[in-house]
């Protein structure tokens, strides 16, 4: 079958790379794609939010399956639109996608169905939000209600920081309409991990846990980003904790959407804080994470199109998904200044070296072709992803790859995966 992947980041490059290995895959298209994706798929210059044009393209090309990478088209209802037109598409309906599209909606669902999460209040009024901050004290977390590309969450250690965050979100509209409401919640203590599952609305199959590195700088310092790297598996999620997350979080969340009249079909991602009281949900996402998709898909041994078709056909209970035992690590290389102001158009050197490397792949995120060169075109530029016999070997391979790449102003964290090593030493 011919396949259309929607998106342009490292997650979509990893998806296209895995789809290309499928026995079912015919021609692969990606809209809009990037310079790395263009090596294995035909890139189509259509925006991820131009649902009508994407639908028209899929109809004209007789696309057998469309796969949605980013969250924005899911929240806008692309799955609803394609299905009404008779096209097969992988992802949740817009009602279910509100789990990511609205933090207020997500919080209401968690409270209604007893899913463990932080205490929180939702505000539409600026002054009421500030009064609540003064009442509760700090540390406290301020979140834009809507989509903010992973940057709408501010952990505030001081009262003036929290008030400034509310002003930026609600008054200055730093994140546009995403700031019409603000969610203010308690600051949970513990270690964060990412837990993803495939769901067809009835059957739920977990993926190996992973851990993202949100902060821009080493030692989890600096501003929040879309993600500076990830690794899988995560030693802090042992078998008991894995089963507890499934029982207390993932299965109740899928059952909750079923009870609300909209079975959850696609990928459900929970950002989990492992607190002294147990796992608590920080947020839900309705798609693969980026960069979590890169190490997870590097470990996937089953045919990804078999899995996605089983989800759509509600036959996931017939699937046995196989994963490699080898850990995988992704180190994101970003433009200097990211996540704030950064420049683009820098020529990237060293990409040709990876044709001869084993177990290391460079997934493109913010790149484009410029004549005979590949240049930077975004904040997060590349994700160097490696597998190894253990976490240390995977880390070493990934950084060996990073050291072969250069462009003006490039920035990356030097401690991706180190928590995994430290936890392994303790167990």
Domain CATH code at residue 21: 3.40.50.20
| Residue ending a domain, choose from 180, 203, 223 | 180
Domain identity same for 308 and 352: no
Domain identity same for 173 and 263: no
**Is 100 inside a domain boundary?**
no
DSSP characters over 120-162? EEEESSHHHHHHHHHHH-SSEEEEESS--TT--EEEESSHHHH
Q: Mean per-residue pLDDT for 53-60?
A: 98
In which band, very low, low, confident or very high, does the pLDDT at 424 lie, cut at 50, 70 and 90?
low
Which of 346, 365, 362 minimizes the C-alpha distance to 354? Answer: 362
Domain identity same for 378 and 421: yes
| Residue ending a domain, choose from 133, 155, 180 | 180
Is the pTM higher than 0.85? The answer reads yes
Domain identity same for 198 and 314: yes
User: Which of 51-55, 80-84, 149-153, 245-249 shows the lowest mean pLDDT across its residues?
Assistant: 149-153
Segment 223-266, tens digit of pLDDT: 889 999 999 999 999 999 999 999 999 999 999 999 999 999 99
Domain identity same for 16 and 75: yes
pLDDT at 414: 97
Instruction: Report how far residue 60's alpha carbon sits from residue 81's, in angstroms, rounded to the nearest whole number.
Output: 16
Q: Give the domain CATH number at 154.
A: 3.30.1490.20
In which band, very low, low, confident or very high, does the pLDDT at 67 lie, cut at 50, 70 and 90?
very high
Total domains, the chain: 4
Instruction: Report how far residue 238's alpha carbon sits from residue 422's, in angstroms, rounded to the nearest whole number.
Output: 15
Domain identity same for 389 and 407: yes
Residue 194 contacts residue 130 (beta carbons within 8 Å): no
User: What's the token pair of residue 21?
Assistant: 């290995």
Residue 31 contacts residue 44 (beta carbons within 8 Å): yes
Percent of the chain surpassing pLDDT 70: 98
Per-chain mean pLDDT for the chain? 94
Q: Mean per-residue pLDDT for 333-338?
A: 96
Domain identity same for 333 and 216: no
Domain identity same for 313 and 197: yes
DSSP 8-class letter at 348: P
Range of the domain at 25: 3-91
Which of 166, 159, 165 minimizes the C-alpha distance to 129? Answer: 166
Domain identity same for 200 and 300: yes
| Token pair 């030493």: residue | 425
CB atoms within 10 A of CB 140: 23
| Residue ending a domain, choose from 318, 343, 360 | 318
Residue 376 contacts residue 393 (beta carbons within 8 Å): no
pLDDT at 337 over 50: yes
Domain identity same for 145 and 235: no
**Is 21 inside a domain boundary?**
yes
Domain identity same for 223 and 150: no
Break the chain down into helix, strand, coil percent, rounded to 5. 35, 25, 35
Domain identity same for 285 and 381: no
Q: Which are the contacts of 56, defined by CB distance < 8 A and separation ≥ 6?
A: none
């Amino acid at each position: 079958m011919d396949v259309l992947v929607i998106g342009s980041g490292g997650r979509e490059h990893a998806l296209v790379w895995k789809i290309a290995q499928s026995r079912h895959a015919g021609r692969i298209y990606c809209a809009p794609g990037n310079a790395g994706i263009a090596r294995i798929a035909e890139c189509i210059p259509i925006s991820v939010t131009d649902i009508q044009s994407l639908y028209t393209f899929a109809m004209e090309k007789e696309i057998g399956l469309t796969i949605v990478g980013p969250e924005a088209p899911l929240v806008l209802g692309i799955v609803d639109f394609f299905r009404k037109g008779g096209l097969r598409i992988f992802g949740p309906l817009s009602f279910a996608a509100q789990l990511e599209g609205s933090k207020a909606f997500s919080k209401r669902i968690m409270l209604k169905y007893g899913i463990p999460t932080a205490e929180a209040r939702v505000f539409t009024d600026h002054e009421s939000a500030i009064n609540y901050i003064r009442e509760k004290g700090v540390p406290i977390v301020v979140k834009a209600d809507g989509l903010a590309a992973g940057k709408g969450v501010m952990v505030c250690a001081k009262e003036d920081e929290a008030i400034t965050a509310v002003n930026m979100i609600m008054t200055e509209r730093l994140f546009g309409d995403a700031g019409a409401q603000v969610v203010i919640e308690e600051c949970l203590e513990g270690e964060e991990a990412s837990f993803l599952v495939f769901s067809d609305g009835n059957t739920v199959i977990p993926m190996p846990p992973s851990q993202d590195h949100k902060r821009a700088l080493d030692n989890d310092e600096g501003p929040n980003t879309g993600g500076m790297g990830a690794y899988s598996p995560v030693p802090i999620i042992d078998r008991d904790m894995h089963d507890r997350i499934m029982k207390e979080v993932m299965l109740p969340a899928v059952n909750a959407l079923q009870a609300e009249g909209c079975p959850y079909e696609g990928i459900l991602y929970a950002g989990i804080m492992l607190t002294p009281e147990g796992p608590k949900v920080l947020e839900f996402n309705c798609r693969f994470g980026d960069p979590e998709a890169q190490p997870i898909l590097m470990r996937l041994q089953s045919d990804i199109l078999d899995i996605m078709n089983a989800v759509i056909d509600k036959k996931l209970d017939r699937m046995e998904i196989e994963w490699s035992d080898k850990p995988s690590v992704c180190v994101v290389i970003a433009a200097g200044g990211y996540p704030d102001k950064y420049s683009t158009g820098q020529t990237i050197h060293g990409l040709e070296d990876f044709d001869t490397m084993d177990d290391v792949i460079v997934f493109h995120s913010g790149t484009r072709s410029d004549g005979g060169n590949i240049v930077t075109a975004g904040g997060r530029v590349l994700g160097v992803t490696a597998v190894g016999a253990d976490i240390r070997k995977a880390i070493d391979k990934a950084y060996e790859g990073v050291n072969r790449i250069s462009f003006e102003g490039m920035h990356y964290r030097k401690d991706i995966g180190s928590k995994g090593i430290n936890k392994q030493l303790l167990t």
